[in-house]
Amino acid sequence: MVATSVPERPTSRAPIRERHGVVTAVGLDADDTLWHNEDHFHHVEEEFAALITLHTDDVDASTALAALAETERTNVTIYGYGVKSFTISMIETAIALTGGRIPSAELSALINHGKDMLRRPTDLLPHVPGIVEQLALRYRLVLITKGDPLHQNAKVAGSGLAHHFEQIEVVDEKDPATYLRVIARHGIDPQGFVMVGNSLKSDVLPVLEIGGIGIHVPYQFTWALEQAEMAQHHTDTGRFHVLEHLGQLPALLSTLE
For a copy of itself, give the closer residue by CB, 64 or 249.
Answer: 64
Site string (74-93) toward a copy of itself, x via CB under 8 A: ----xxx---xx-xx--xx-
Work out how close the CB of 107 gets to a copy of itself at its nearest, in angstroms, rounded to a whole number.
6
Quote the CA–CA distance of 113 and 149 in Å, as a whole number: 19
Task: Please tell me whether residue 111 binds a copy of itself under the rule CB under 8 A.
Answer: yes
* Residues 125, 29: Cα–Cα separation, whole Å: 12
Neighbours of 219 (CB within 10 A): 19
Least distance (Å) from a copy of itself to the CB of residue 29?
Answer: 19
- What radius of gyration, in Å, describes the C-alpha atoms of the chain? 20
Please identify which residue in 119, 187, 229, 233 interacts with a copy of itself, judged by CB under 8 A. 119
CB-neighbour burial class of residue 11 (10 A; exposed 0-12, middle 13-18, buried 19+): exposed
Residue 102 contacts a copy of itself per CB under 8 A: yes
Single residue of 56, 122, 153, 237 touching a copy of itself by CB under 8 A: 153
CA atoms within 13 A on the CB side of 16: 19
Please, what is the Cα angle at 246 between 36 and 115, to 5 degrees? 10
Q: Which of 21, 129, 149, 211 binds a copy of itself (CB under 8 A)?
A: 149
The smaller minimum CB distance to a copy of itself, of residues 128 and 144, is found at 144
- The closest of 152, 256, 134 to 195, measured between CA atoms, is 256
Residue numbers at the binding site for a copy of itself (CB under 8 A): 78-80, 84-85, 87-88, 91-92, 94-95, 98-108, 111, 114-115, 118-119, 148-150, 153, 170, 172
